[in-house]
C-alpha cells in the first residue's frame, strides 16, 4: 500500500523577498533548478516572478486581458487603436473575398 504524502503548507513570499531572490538569481545567473535548491522556490513560481518583473507592475493584467489589447484607460491612443481595428474588421471579409476571387480567376480563368 502506498504511503500518503503530507501536504506542505504553501509558503508566501513578500515583494522584498521575491525581489531579492530574483536579483540574486540574475546576478549569479542561476538556473531555475539552482534557484529551487538554494531558495526552495519551484521553477514555475520563479519563472512567473521573472516574467512579471520583466513586464513591470503596470503591465500586470487587470482581469482577463489578452496580449496586445490596450487597457481601457489607454487614452487617445487606445481610442484610435480601437477605431482602426473596427474598420479593419469591417473591411477584412470583402478584401479576403476579392483576393480569393482574383486567385481563382487566375487559376481557372473566367466563367
Give pLDDT tens digits for 12-68: 888 899 999 999 999 999 999 999 999 999 999 999 998 888 776 555 455 555 566
77 close to 70: Cβ distance less than 8 angstroms: yes
Return d(Cα 65, Cα 61) in angstroms, integer: 6
65 assigned to some structural domain: no
* 2 falls within a domain: no
| 8 part of a folded domain | no
Which 3 state secondary structure label does DSSP give 5?
coil
Q: Is residue 31 part of a domain?
A: yes
Closest CA to 60 of 13, 15, 21, 16: 15
Query: Structural domain of residue 18, as residue ranges?
Result: 13-57
Same domain, 80 and 52: no
Contact between 44 and 35 under an 8 Å Cβ cutoff? The reply is no
Residue 1 in domain: no
Q: How far, in Å, are 92, 97, 104, 110 from residue 100 at the CA level?
A: 12, 5, 6, 13
Q: What is the pTM of this model?
A: 0.45
Using pLDDT thresholds of 50, 70 and 90, give the confidence band for residue 95: confident
Exposed / middle / buried, residue 36 (Cβ in 10 Å: 0-12, 13-18, 19+): middle
Amino acid at each position: 500500500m502506498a504511503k500518503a504524502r503530507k501536504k506542505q503548507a504553501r509558503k508566501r513570499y513578500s515583494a522584498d523577498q521575491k525581489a531579492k531572490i530574483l536579483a540574486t538569481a540574475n546576478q549569479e545567473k542561476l538556473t531555475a533548478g539552482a534557484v529551487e535548491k538554494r531558495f526552495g522556490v519551484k521553477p514555475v513560481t520563479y519563472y512567473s516572478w521573472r516574467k512579471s518583473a520583466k513586464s513591470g507592475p503596470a503591465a500586470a493584467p487587470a482581469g482577463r486581458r489578452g496580449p496586445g489589447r490596450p487597457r481601457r484607460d489607454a487614452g487617445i491612443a487606445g481610442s484610435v487603436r480601437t477605431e482602426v481595428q473596427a474598420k479593419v474588421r469591417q473591411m477584412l471579409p470583402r478584401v479576403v473575398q476579392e483576393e480569393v476571387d482574383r486567385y481563382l480567376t487566375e487559376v481557372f480563368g473566367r466563367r
